[in-house]
Amino acid sequence: MTLFAVIRPILVMILAAWWVACIVDALRQHRSWLWVLGLVFVPIVSAPVYFLNFKLGGSNKGHIDAKMNLLKRLRDLQAELAVRDVPALRRDIAGVYYELGRWREALESLRPVLDDDPEDLAAQFQAGMCWVRLGQAEAAANHLEYVVDEEPKYARGEARVALGNVWKEMGRDEDAVEQFARAAQEYSIPEAVVRHARFLRERGERDAARRALLQMLKGAGDLDPDLKRKSRKWIRAAAEDLKSLESDG
């Protein structure tokens, strides 16, 4: 008897259990009946796709579903734009392009808005974030500096954090730290707190760094849900940095 003949029944049992688990999960999570029918009747294709979509990335929403929803929203917005061309629609389209990772197309959508009204803070912020994603620090800084100068508390401090990151990349460390410190103080944004605390630690102000991290972690549960979702890695980083500080005495 070959080795494959011995392990084949075990593999079949494991795959069958995995297939059933996918079906049970689809029913419990109230997925579309298309998913359930696919899992039941076309398991060889549907089960791996289901697993990749909902489980592998740790997202319960489904990566494929999310992208399809974004593409549908993009089509709807573009159809509406053909009827009435207004800045709000172009900003919404740019937002969808941004979520899809199509940052140059987002910038193209924003160009007419900024040409018509350079003082549009929302468009300036979106453009700055697109340039950040494209790795163009100077272009990003031009937009983000304008936003922070005009409205320092824009997007509840997120503009300050973005500008701080850009300035840090450009070697303007002192200016970057100032932005992180303000964002940390005003809104306790986890990324800003962690970056500022690390600066304090490097400067030898370990107690101040410890206090900042501890205060942010205590209040993490009260953060805006969207900010909390986007800040998960920084909340984890804060916990790790605090543990490191405490272990070092």
Instruction: Give residue limits of the domains in the chain.
Output: 51-117
pLDDT per position as a tens digit, 82-102 = 999 999 999 999 999 999 999
3-state helix, strand, coil in the chain (%, to 5): 85, 0, 15
pLDDT at 164 over 60: yes
Structure confidence at residue 111 as a pLDDT band (50, 70, 90): very high
pLDDT per position as a tens digit, 56-79 = 654 555 566 677 788 999 999 999
The mean per-residue pLDDT over the stretch 156-183 comes to: 93
Residue 27 and residue 149: Cα distance in Å, rounded? 51
| Residue type present at position 132 | V
Give the tokens for residue 190.
Answer: 């986890």
Q: 148 phi and psi, to 5 degrees?
A: -65, -35
Helix pair angle (137-150, 158-169), 10° resolution: 140
* Residue-level pLDDT at 64: 67
Does the predicted model carry a pTM greater than 0.85? no
Give CA 68 to chain center in angstroms. Answer: 18
Q: 77 phi and psi, to 5 degrees?
A: -65, -40
pLDDT at 238 over 70: yes
